[in-house]
Amino acid sequence: MNLALFTPELSLVVTAVLVILLDLFIKQKGWLAAVSIIGLAVSAGFSVGLWNGSPQATFNNMLAVDNYAVFFKLLFAGIAVLVILASTEYVAKFQRFQGEYYALILLSALGMMLMAATTELISLFVSLELVNLSLYVLVGFLKDNKSTEASLKYLLLSAVASAVLLFGMALVFGFTGQTQLGEIAAVITRMSGSSLAANPALIVGIVLMIAGFGFKIAMVPFQMWVPDVYEGAPTPITAYLSVGSKAAGFAIILRIFYAAFIGPTDLSFNWGMIFAVMSAITMTAGNIVAIQQNNIKRMLGYSSIAQAGYLMVGLATVGLVHGDSAAGQAPLLFFLVSYSLTNLAAFFAIIAISNKTGSDMIDDFKGMGKRSPWLAAALTLAMVSLIGMPPAAGFMAKFYIFSTAVQNDLLWLVIIAVINSVISAFYYLRVVKVMWMSEVASQEKVPASSALVVALMLCCAVVLLFGLLPGLAMKMSGLASMLGL
């Protein structure tokens, strides 16, 4: 066992423990955020040191150290840093529990990193539950009625999803006798199509795993938790859930299905078509219900369901491009990064505005273009990117993922996705219209902490950069898509 390969995760464990201990002895709680960010930066630094090295494994081949894992470690560290920056003012709402708040963010980021790296089913489930346990508590941190209800709903529904996922894993293990992804793939590859058809346990296991992971990525019909949890959770945690949890879900789905179930061709084609059909249903349902929302957090909750549908176009493509790693995966990874930064920018602007207005209702954003032009501009950029319009990163992300799907006989799915993108413009542009074209409700300026401003500016800058110059990000996504198992 080479602990040097585990340094990004170890640094987060040490930082989380240090934050909890410091919370007992220091009165200036702002230092807790600083220490957390330093710990995440150290973790990211160790991750960079592992980039583009030869693929390795540690802990008895349970965790992979390859470009794919490192890519997501950097993404999760970046997301956690941005969320902590955006939380520095918001944490005044739970002054006594700031140490626990930052430590739980660190531990959930640790779990997400492990999810992206795991190559074994048992370690996958342990890392998934580490994420879930941290998020259950974070969702309920406000301790009011909505927050408590959201936490309880997330806990109960997540427990059911975990049980379904575990049952699916048990069936796969019963069929193959293995829990390591490479060994599962070897067993399946040796079997003919007729042998697989005569043993439906594997197919049922795969379907149950799709259902279990479907909860994590907010896939219809497993999305029922999203609007209530997004509305009730502290807004920085809503932002964290909408991108971190979703990215972790897609990271582990992509690794498992590409590494274990990519062969034979008939099998990968079948699960690819399952994702294609569910993609069409998910994006359509998410967009249609989002139109009816008046609360911006609920609207972005349904929006995240629709975005999961677009991302699943990439998963479907991976199943259909049997054996061609980069062709299917690189656009999906680029989309994940673009969506994460875009959604964080949207929620960070909402945090500043809602802190001032005391409301998450879209109508209370009236005249924000005059009260705080830079916040309104940032939120407008995020809405434009979520629609998929230039010059934002969302346009290039959809272009890459849709064009790859068309090249692999998924034109029908791309047509549905484009129609849904047009539908989504209605509710995204409604927010823009309210901010810039409605009567000003108040002349009072909207303040924001310097840390929140930094986080928002970073997100907006990268969203514009990836929209105008996507080449570097796509190159990194292409390198990360070569799974080293």
Question: Reduced to 3 states, what is the DSSP secondary structure of residue 86?
Answer: helix
Stretch among 270-279, 356-365, 420-429 having the lowest mean pLDDT: 356-365
Q: Are 280 and 423 in contact (CB under 8 A)?
A: no
Query: Which residue segment(s) compose the domain that 346 sits in?
Result: 263-485
Residue 320 lies inside a defined structural domain of this protein = yes
Residue 439 lies in a domain: yes
* Residue 119 counted as domain residue: no
The whole-number pLDDT of residue 240 equals 92
The SS3 of residue 58 is strand
Would you say residue 485 has pLDDT above 50? no
Inside any domain, residue 417: yes
Q: Which residues, at least 6 apart from 394, have a Cβ–Cβ distance to it below 8 Å? A: 338, 339, 342, 384, 385, 386, 387, 388, 463, 467
Q: Phi and psi for 481 in degrees, rounded to 5?
A: -75, -10
pLDDT averaged over the chain? 88
Asked whether residue 316 is assigned to any structural domain, the reply reads yes
* Peptide bond connecting 221 to the previous residue in cis, omega within 30 degrees of 0: yes
pLDDT, tens digit (0-9, with 9 covering 90-100), for 67-108: 899 999 999 999 999 999 998 888 877 777 888 999 999 999
Mean pLDDT across 281-297:
93
| Statement: residue 325 has pLDDT above 80 | no
Q: Is the pLDDT of residue 482 over 90?
A: no
Per the structure, how many domains does the chain have?
A: 1
Angstrom distance (rounded) from CA 166 to CA 219: 18
Distance, CA of 78 to CA of 397 (rounded, Å): 19
The percentage of residues in the chain with a pLDDT greater than 70, rounded to a whole number, is 96
**Residue whose C-alpha is closest to residue 69's, from 88, 83, 84, 48:** 48
328-350 confidence digits (pLDDT tens):
788 899 999 999 999 999 999 99
Alpha carbons 343 and 75: distance in angstroms, whole number? 14
What distance in Å separates the CA atoms of residue 481 and residue 319, rounded to the nearest whole number?
Answer: 14
DSSP state of 271: H
Question: Does residue 474 belong to any structural domain of this protein?
Answer: yes
Instruction: Report CA-CA distances (Å) from 473 to 395, 405, 440, 469, 477.
Output: 14, 19, 40, 8, 6
Domain presence at residue 96? no
Q: Give domain status of residue 436, yes or no.
A: yes
